[in-house]
Each structure stands twice: as C-alpha cells, then as structure tokens.
Amino acid sequence: GDGDGDGSSDQSESTTTKELPPISEWSAAIDGVPVAHSGAAKKVTRTFVSKSDRKKKRQAQVKAKESLSGTSVPEDDSETDSDDDLEPYQTSTRQQWKPRFLVDCIEGLKKKESDVDLFRTCLISLPELIEQQPADLTHQSVFLAQLLLHLANRFSLEEYSAAQSRSLVGLLTACPASVSDYLTQQFYQENYSLSQRSLMLEVLARAAIVISGRDPKQRLTQQPPPQGSQSSVSHKSIPACGHGEASVIGDKTGMEKHEEKGELSSPAEIIQRRLEQKTRRFNSGRRPRPATKPNAFAEVAGHFFYPLLHQYDAQDIATLKLMKTDDFLLENLLKTLGVVVYCTGEAMCLASMIQTLFEFVLAIISSKHEDHVIRATLSAILMAVITTPPYILFGNAIHFLPHIKEWLELVAQDAHNPNNRTLALYILAELGDKARASAVSM
C-alpha cells in the first residue's frame, strides 16, 4: 500500500511537471531576452518592447508563478494601459543658469553641441554683460565682434537679430576705435554676404548716434524750413526729407491774421499790440550760456568714415559690386556715411570728411541709378549741408558745389518721383540760406 501511495505520488508529480513550460522558456519570458540551449555559448541581446508587449509578458509570468506555487498570484498593476507612452520631459537646470562673465558667453556660443537653452541664454545675456563694460572687454572686444559677425542662427531664434545687433553696438560704444577698424576692414573682404555687410553698416550708424548723442531724425523734425530759393519753391512748403510739411514761406504774421478775422475789438487794442511788437527792451544782465557737452564721437569719427570709402570702386571683389549691381548695399552705405558726418558735428576733421563725401557723391551722380539710390544720395548731401558751417561749405568744398547744385536742379524738375523732388528743393533752399549767410552767390 505504501508503495502504491509512493507511486501515485510520483506519477502526480511527473504529471504536474509535464504541464510546466521549460525552464529556459520561462526564464526568457521573465527577462525578455532569448536564452540559448544548454551546452552552447550564451548570446544575450537587449531588446526594446512596447507597453502592450510588456503587459502580455507580465501576464505570462503571473501564470507561470501560479503553476509553480499552486496558488493565485495577485496581478501587479504597476504598469497600466495608457495611450500616451511618452515619459514626462525633465526640465533642464540650465534654464535657471545665467552667465556672469564674457568667457561664459563665448564658450556657450562657440559650442557646436550646445542645446537651444544654453545658446539662447548666452545670446540674450551677452548685450547686458557688454554694456556693463567688464575689465576684460577691451581684450575680448575684437574677438567678440568676429564671433558675432560669423554667428549662425542655427536654432532659428526670434531674439537672434536684435541681440546680435545690440551686442555689436555695445562693443562699438565701449571700444569704438578697435571694433570699428575691424568692421570697416571686413566690409570689403571676400566671403561675406550682403546681409552681413548691411549689418556692419547698420551697427556703425547706430553706434555713431549713441556715442555722439546726436540723432539726425530728431534734428530734421525740429529743423525750421529754409527761407531761401523762394523762386524755386514758389512759396510752397518744403517738407524735410519728406516727413510732413514745414511752415509756409512768406506766411502772414499772427497779428495780421487776427486783424483779418476781426478778432480785435477796438482800434486802441490794435495800436497797443503793434507798439508792443515795435518796442525794444534792453537788459544789462547776461544770460548764462547753456552747457555744451563735448562730442566724444569726433575723436573716432575717422575710424567710422574713411575705411568705408577706401575700395568702393574695387573690381576684384567677386561678392561685392557697389557701383554696378549691389544697389541695396550702396543705398545703405550712403545713409551710413550721412549719419556719420552728422554725428561728427563741427569737429576739426569735418572739412576733410565733407570733401571725401562729395567726391563719392560726384562718382554716383555721374551714372544712372534707381530712385532709392538717388534718395539715399540726397539724404547724404542733406546731412552734409545742415552739418557743415558756411565757411567750410563755401571754402574747402566750394569746387564740388556747382556740379552738385546742377544735379539737384535736375532732380527737382523730375516729376516722376515727388519725394526725391521735394527733398532736392529742400537742399537747394538750405544751400541758398547758407550762401546768403556767408555772402556767396550761388
């Protein structure tokens, strides 16, 4: 009986063992990796499976455990079905980091493998660091200008252009001589695009305005209308550079307007007001002269101006043809030169700069150009005329004026472009006023 019992027990155990899967398959189901047959070399490879496949394998593991233990094993709900298999993105701690030194920005911008957060942070922080003018700025200024000039917007950031331009203006403001020498020298070099050359001109003009504190736009909006050349303007208003109309030449006084409208009620009041207009009052007290701020830009104006005209007619630069095809860049060059002349003010170098500018103007007006280049030429001439005192304009530069005046009269007679025509009339009137001030006949 005992032997029968033992045999039945062995038979039961063998029957149970036959129903179990092989150990190798069960191990593979648990680990998710294939296992080689016994006796052969084991080769383990890592595989990646989706969540649905992992759940099926987990269920197989549970069934295998239930078969071994003979009891039910609660299913682990740690992995649940979800349509979203993406794990949450861990926010980088670099977003909280901010560079404190110029070297930090340089390293962040130079790294080719840097991510977008590091690149953006360094790019946006650089103008602020430059404006603080740290001790190593003078040493790093030219290298930073070179880095910014060749810096590519490889992440297509919206803040790129503004930060790049502001940084270059800050470098020019802090180290005007060295940085302007580098930019003006690079302007006529090969392997630069038109956008890079336009950026050089833009930052040079903006830096000149910042250093000098003289804004040509503000000057033109406050400029009273010239009172000369009434025959040319036929008593019509002359807008300054086309920005609105100036007051009418030969307009009646406020008293005459009131008299015509009948706003003065009695003859006695009319007589009293006329007496007040004719009365001269004398005061022995002296009014203090307004404090004049020295023009810091006058000392470095030559670095901004002369190198830009060094090779304007060069024929050996394959990527730059100023006098032929690159009209857009020629327009920007003329505007920049006009701004630089205006920001120079009445400095010692102004006379030489005016002669050089007028030589360039004569080279332009001797050939035919588009309307936008003509307007930029008019703008440069206007900046020179309103900045230069009469003794320089009709002294050192007088031999240029007949040719320029003749061209201005031709533009003033052209009805094709009214904006250019109006600006030419305005310049002629300015020349007339300065000629009368210096007793020179135009």
The pLDDT tens digits for 188-217 are 999 999 999 999 999 999 999 999 999 998
- State yes or no: pLDDT of 415 exceeds 60: yes
**Of 40-54, 171-185, 323-337, minimum mean pLDDT range:** 40-54
Burial of 163 (0-12, 13-18, 19+ CB in 10 A): buried
| Region of residue 70 (phi > 0: left; psi between -120 and 50: alpha; otherwise: beta) | left
- Which one is predicted more confidently, 274 or 402? 402
- DSSP calls for 338-388: HHHHHHH-S-TTHHHHHHHHHHHHHHHHTS---HHHHHHHHHHHHHHHHHS
User: Model confidence over 349-361: pLDDT tens digits?
Assistant: 999 999 999 999 9
More confident residue, 222 or 370: 370
H or E segment to which residue 329 belongs: helix 327-344
pLDDT in tens, 128-181: 999 999 999 999 999 999 999 999 999 999 999 999 999 999 999 999 999 999
Considering the chain, what percentage of its residues have pLDDT values greater than 70?
64
- H/E run at residue 237: none
102 torsion bin: left (phi>0), alpha (psi -120 to 50), beta (else): alpha
Q: In this predicted model, which residue has the larger pLDDT, 70 or 218?
A: 218
- Report the candidate in 422, 332, 441, 328 with the shortest Cα–Cα distance to residue 382: 422
Q: Residue 103: which residues within 8 A CB-CB, separation 6 or more?
A: 136
Q: What is the largest CA-CA distance in the chain?
A: 154
CA distance 35 to 20: 18
Please answer whether residues 342 and 295 qualify as being in contact, where contact means their C-beta atoms are separated by less than 8 angstroms: no
Most confident of 20-24, 96-100, 407-411: 407-411
Torsion 122-123-124-128 (CA) sign = positive
pLDDT at 371: 95
Classify residue 75 by its DSSP letter.
P
For residue 196, give the nearest of 168, 223, 215 by alpha carbon. 168
Q: What is the pLDDT of residue 399?
A: 94
Mean pLDDT of 291-310: 91
410: left (phi over 0), alpha (psi -120 to 50) or beta: alpha
Per-residue b or e along 352-361, where b marks 16 or more CB atoms closer than 10 Å to that residue's CB: ebbebbbebb
Is the pLDDT at 4 greater than 90? The verdict is no
Provide mean pLDDT across the span 409-433: 94
Tell me the pLDDT of the chain averaged across its residues. Answer: 78
Segments in 227-291 forming alpha helices (H): 230-233, 254-261, 267-278
CB 302 within 8 A of CB 349: yes
Instruction: Tell me the residue type at 306.
Output: Y
Residue 40's pLDDT is: 45
Q: What pLDDT is stored for residue 62 in this prediction?
A: 73
Q: Give residue 273's pLDDT.
A: 72
CA 253 – CA 257 distance, rounded (Å): 6
pLDDT top residue among 285 and 11: 285
Q: Using 50, 70 and 90 to split pLDDT, how confident is the model at 409?
A: very high
> Per-residue confidence at 187, pLDDT binned at 50, 70, 90?
very high
**Nearest residue to 32 via CA among 48, 52, 21:** 48
| 272: number of Cβ within 10 Å | 12
pLDDT of residue 56: 77
Q: What is the pLDDT of residue 109?
A: 93
Q: What is the mean pLDDT of residues 239-246?
A: 35
Per-residue pLDDT averaged across 238-244, rounded?
37
Judged against a pLDDT cut of 90, whether residue 23 lies above it is answered with no
Residue labelled with tokens 């025509």: 421
Considering Cα of 419, then 420, then 426, then 430, what sign does the dihedral take? positive
Whether pTM > 0.85 for this model: the answer is no
Half-sphere exposure of 197 (CA within 13 A, CB side): 24
* DSSP H helices in 47-175: 51-69, 102-110, 116-131, 137-150, 160-174
Q: Which two tokens stand for residue 376?
A: 């930029």
pLDDT of residue 241: 40
User: Which residues, 6 or more positions from 208, have their beta carbon under 8 angstroms from its beta carbon?
Assistant: 297, 301, 304, 339, 340, 343
Name the DSSP letter for residue 285.
Answer: S
Model confidence at 223, pLDDT cuts 50, 70, 90, reads: low
Average the pLDDT over 296-323 and give the result. 92
> Which pLDDT score is estimated for 185?
96
Whole-number Å distance between alpha carbons of 359 and 409 = 19
Express as a percent the part of the chain with pLDDT over 90.
52
**Which range, 49-53, 235-239, 317-321, 328-332, is most confident?**
328-332
